[in-house]
Amino acid sequence: MSLSYEGRKKKILDQLAKDEKVQIPAMAEELNVSTETIRRDLGRLDKEGMLKKVYGGAVKQASLEPPFEQKSLINAAEKQEISRLAASLVEDGDIIMIGSGTTTVGMIPYLSTKKNVTIISHSAAVMRLAMEQFPGRIIFIGGELNVKKQSVNGPLAEWMLNQLKADKAFFAAGGISMTDGISDYTLSEANLSRKMMERAGETIVLADHTKFGNTTFARICPLKNIDILISDRGCPEEWIQMLASKETTLLIAEEEEQL
């Protein structure tokens, strides 16, 4: 019995994370489908920004970050599951730092029932949604506005973070690599993530399955420096096994049961 598109998608992305390339004939044989089916799958994944289709197969997508609005449409269901699980780690009375990104902003709706929680963030998207849905205290970090990322950054933002202390820091990863660790698309965002790590008691990274095996432009830290990594059910099996042997705790978000 042949796999569905979602099943083939996971196999293709797992192969890409492992070998950094996919060859159409080999993948078609492995999945017991036609080469034309794999060619169509690669074209679809290319349009979704998950890989770059090339002659005879596909390679990893270039390390260029799409605009915030476009990113919000990619793996939206998986990101929602990750956001919900991340929010469940917040306890009443916590002071938390939330980085920018389409996954971290998804935590806000799930924090509405938490008591005496303080949010510190440099994300304009987090601030806007928190003003609408979050009843607790909000501290917005100032700095130079990056419209594309819908966040502020720079020396002023770093200085303000340095004046504060939090229980937990939540931020998203642009890439996760065994050799290069956690990385992001810009130096400014990577700097702010490191500053949050310094000022928080616990570091929690949010990353959907497409981030594994990738390295983006700016390194944040080695894997060993984070406390918890949250991903979705598409997390490659080899990564689950590798992280099990490390000190990093991996949490897999499951789909919320419908009542």
**Residue 257 confidence (pLDDT):** 52
74 and 17 co-located in one domain: no
CATH number of the domain encompassing residue 27 = 1.10.10
**Residue 227 confidence (pLDDT):** 95
What is the model's pTM? Answer: 0.74
54 and 75 co-located in one domain: no
Domain enclosing residue 156, as ranges: 68-252
| CA–CA separation, 161 and 126 (whole Å) | 16
Residue 177 in any domain: the answer is yes
Residue 191 in any domain: the answer is yes
| CA–CA separation, 230 and 208 (whole Å) | 8
**Residue 259 confidence (pLDDT):** 38
| ∠ CA 14-18-21, rounded to 5° | 90
**Residue 7 confidence (pLDDT):** 85
55 and 116 co-located in one domain: no
| CA–CA separation, 14 and 23 (whole Å) | 13
Domain count, the chain: 2
- As averages over each run of 10 residues, the pLDDT of the chain (259 residues) reads 80 79 91 93 82 83 56 74 97 97 94 96 95 96 87 93 97 90 90 96 95 87 95 91 86 72
72 and 45 co-located in one domain: no
- 163: its two tokens: 């004046």
16 and 120 co-located in one domain: no
Classify 88 as helix, strand or coil. helix
Tell me the Cα Rg of the chain. Answer: 19
Residue 259 in any domain: the answer is no
**Residue 67 confidence (pLDDT):** 58
How would you classify residue 145: left for phi > 0, otherwise alpha for psi between -120 and 50, otherwise beta? Answer: beta
